[in-house]
Amino acid sequence: GNSVTQMEGPVTLSEEAFLTINCTYTATGYPSLFWYVQYPGEGLQLLLKATKADDKGSNKGFEATYRKETTSFHLEKGSVQVSDSAVYFCALLYNFNKFYFGSGTKLNVKP
Amino acid sequence: EAQVTQNPRYLITVTGKKLTVTCSQNMNHEYMSWYRQDPGLGLRQIYYSMNVEVTDKGDVPEGYKVSRKEKRNFPLILESPSPNQTSLYFCASSFELANTGELFFGEGSRLTVL
């Protein structure tokens, strides 16, 4: 079946540190991959996406590359800010109608 | 303002008492879906709807029903709630999901079943 596995948190970093949150997936066919972010008390919102192998999604300084050979979609940011503190979810869209989410990784950024 | 509205936001109920969580979107989106969020499990899809009168099961549909009689509304029905349905529920909608993959989420409904 389809599934998404991401690193457990929480991840605690100092401001301006480098961030990596690992995500791997299992899927049949060619899913689209996403990172969603959830700020406290809110619903999720799309951060970035990639629809095919070797695509790089980017937004607000975050990046992730769709690696089919390693079935991975790791999230990176070169310099995190306190305002990046949130829960990050890796997700895949299968058959253009079913979403599968990872368990979420909480990021705490300290000043 | 474009939004997805869920009601109620918080509810405490008892086992077996039927309840409905409403979801409404004002963006003319064709795709709508329901998720539950549980610690350590992330979001799991309950049901989704590609358009009016078209619904299908997600990963965890047991104990839930949905209907899509109008484009804007997609209520989630718990006919006989049980304690294992205590969770945080999110409704989401999308325009051209196949192209954008972008879901617009409501603020969530926290349900406790005693």
Torsion, Cα A21 A24 A29 A33, to 10 degrees, reads -10
Mutate to test the interface with B, among A3, A37, A98, A99 (most CBs of B within 10 A): A99
pLDDT digits (tens, 9 = 90+) for A11-49: 999 999 999 999 999 998 889 999 999 998 888 999 999
Nearest to B106 among A43, A49, A91 (CB): A43
Query: How confident is the model at residue A19, as a pLDDT?
Result: 97
Mutate to test the interface with A, among B90, B91, B105, B109 (most CBs of A within 10 A): B105
User: Nearest residue of B to residue A9 by CA position?
Assistant: B40
**Contact residues on chain B for A100, CB-CB shorter than 8 A:** 45, 59
Rg (CA), chain A: 13
Q: Mean per-residue pLDDT for A97-106?
A: 92
- Residue A1 pLDDT grade (very low, low, confident, very high; cuts 50, 70, 90): confident
The pLDDT of residue B99 is above 90: no
Instruction: State the Cα–Cα distance between residues B61 and B64, nearest whole angstrom.
Output: 6
